[in-house]
Structures are given as C-alpha cells and as structure tokens.
Amino acid sequence: MLLPLLRPAQLPLRTALLLFLLTVGACAGETSGPSAASEDYRVVSMTSDLAHPWAIAFLPDDSILISERPGRLRIFRDEALQPDPVPGLPAITATGQGGLLDLALHPDFEQNRWLYYTYAASVDNGVTTRLARARFVDDRLHDVEVLFTAQPASRGGRHFGSRIVFDRDGYVFVSVGDRGDMPRAQRLDDHAGTIVRLHDDGRVPEDNPFVGRGDVLPEIFAYGVRNPQGMALHPQTGALWEHEHGPRGGDEINIIEAGLNYGWPVISHGIDYSGAPIGDGIREKEGMEQPLYDWTPSIAPSGMAFYRGDAFPDWEGDLLVGALAHRHLARLSFDADNEVVSEVRMLEAWGSRIRDVRVRDGLIYVLTDHDPGELLRIEPATKP
C-alpha cells in the first residue's frame, strides 16, 4: 500500500505523523473492539481550522456546509474553508454542550433551497433545543422560520440532542435530549428526552401516536431517551435508527417506532457517574424497549451513518458511529436479524473526539470535536 500524499500547507506535523501511523495501522489491521479486520483505507485532513464543528451537509455543487457549535455556519468549497461564516443565522446560545448543532437539507433542496438546523436558544429565562429552517441562496440564509421549540426551557448546558432526519415520506424527525434532568424523559407533557416528528413546515402530523391526548405534547413520536446525538435511516428498510449517550456505560442503539418508550431513566445498562444505580436499578421492564446494541463502558457516541457505496464494497450496509470519549470511529456489521456480528474501531491512532460522520459517493467524512477541529475524508488507499 502506498502512503497518502500529504500537502504540508494542509497538514500540520502532528496530523501528518498520525496519518502515517494510521495508514500503517490500516495495513496491519486494527485489532480493538469485539472483532478485528484488515482495513484498506487512508485518511485525508481536508481542513483543520474549525471551532468545535458539529455537523456536515453536502450541497449539490459539492460544497460542504459545516456547523460550528459556537454559532457559525461555514462553507468548505474548492478544497478550502471559506474565510467568512454564512450570514443570516438567528441568535444562538452557545453554552455547555449547546450551540449551533445539526444540519439537514430538505429532500427537495435543489428546488426550494430549504436548509434545516437545530440550535440552543434562550427562551423563557432558560435554554432549549430549537429547529429552524432558512433558504440558502447566494451563500447566505434568507427567510428564517422557527419550526419547533422544545418545551419547557430549562437552565444548564447539558443534553440538547440533537439530530435531524427526513424519512422517505418527507416527515422530519428531531432528537431532543433530557437536558440533564432524568425524570423528564418519562413525562409526555415535556419534550425533553423524546424523538419529535413533524411535517416539513413544522405542523404536527395527524397520525403522530399521541395526537388527541390532552395530557401529551402532540409532537412526540417516541420517548424515554437520554441524549440522542445520532440518527439515520436504514438504507433497506427505511427504519429510523438512533443512538444515545448513557452515563457510565449503557450507550444504546435503538430502532425508533411510533409511541414506544425506550426506558430512560427507569431502566439502563449503565450506572450513574457516582457509581449509584440508575432509576430502578434494573435493565428490563415490561412496556419499555431494549436496545438493539449497547456499549459498556461508554464510548460517548455522536454522529451516525450507514455506509453505501462502491469505494469499500465489503462495508456495504455497515453502521458508522463516532465516539467522543473513546476517540474512534466504530464500524458495525449486522446480520439479517439486526444482530451485531462485528465491530471494528477505526481512527484510534488519530486520537480525536469524533463528532459527526457522513457518507457521500462512497467516501466517509468525519468531524473532530476540537478547537481547532478537523474535517477528515476516509478513502481507499492508493494501490501500488
């Protein structure tokens, strides 16, 4: 395998050295995780000038939009990060884990130019997760519309979520964290700790599972989640997959279905940071869903994408999950029953917190949660 070509102006010495070590590791095969596999890829640092980047969105002209948690929207175009942030964002509260968060293009973006984004907003003497959209035209945002505001707002800077996914029917899903107040995830008059489902203009679908119940917020599609920072549609089934942070252990992957209770904080495969039991101190309870897969100890998952493409044909259908605490990119393979049959940990030599992962044209794009943070591209290694 040939080593990647490095541009000195693009890659600092530390990054170049890690890239060399990672490529050598790829040749030898990575051995951490439940199983090991020999990989055949290289990693290219596209830019290292980002401030705590959070999410990626690919524009039709091959430019890349990148959100920065402090409250800036950036454009990566023609192999360079554009110097000026995109103007037109609303007021964003960058506090703790909150700030400018996820990005998603409307399915008909090329016609309507709607860009969707989540962020932390100050409302009612507190802070909460909000979904908005704006038209992205001429490299700026126009016609900003707030579509959803999680209620009630609260103080503190933890567990905002949040990811945005459009399903095949054009509904938009938003994940909302429990805001660090565990019991809220079991309350149906509270958006904290839920998965929300909306029409693309923010209206509540009439077939949402709790519509018509006066004691339940109608936007809620599922509940009992902790801090969900990954969602993706399964490429074959169209099902909505989600992952969320546990405390000390108990990070979960779930398949989200209408009206289901995913158990937090009554049941958990983890324990509290103090070492005390969570909730009832049990892992199972009738009426509460079990995770498809869980990690103990916690890897702190963030970002999720299914692999599709020709660049790595052996990875087709695998699930990619970033890890903040354990600083790697997990690649999970499943059997026909959605049982995990292998897990390979990539990018461990890179030593960076992985915030987001996306796939385009068979190549894998990754954001590292640092200041400065990087946009990385995983591509096939050059053959001799």
Query: Known catalytic residues?
Result: 159
Q: How many residues does the structure list for the chain?
A: 384
Which are the contacts of 30, defined by CB distance < 8 A and separation ≥ 6? 36, 37, 39, 344, 345, 346, 348
- Please state, in angstroms and rounded to a whole number, the distance separating the CA atoms of residues 61 and 47: 19
Q: Which of 221, 371, 214, 241 is nearest to 301 (CA)?
A: 241
